Amino acid sequence: MSAGYVLKEGFAGLGRAKLAAFTSMFSLFIAILLIGVLFRVGYNAYEVAQVLRQQVEIEIFL
């Protein structure tokens, strides 16, 4: 199979089943968006933890 044929049939399938194509693309969009948001929140939490770690000073008396 050639890449041109696969692309042509893929776009033709989008036209034939509009609701199925929309719901699958929308669910993929939501999943990728949530992964991005989770990554960003995790990175911000990591940065806050690093700042707090630099500000903490521990003294041990023996």
User: Could you write out the DSSP letters of every residue in 4-52?
Assistant: HHHHHHHHHHHHH-HHHHHHHHHHHHHHHHHHHHHHHHHHHHHHHHHHH
| Cα Rg of the chain, angstroms | 24
* Helix (H) / strand (E) containing 62: none
Question: 0.85 exceeded by the pTM?
Answer: no
CB 14 within 8 A of CB 21: yes
pLDDT in tens, 38-58: 999 999 999 999 999 999 888
pLDDT in tens, 29-38: 999 999 999 9
Write down the mean pLDDT value for the chain: 92
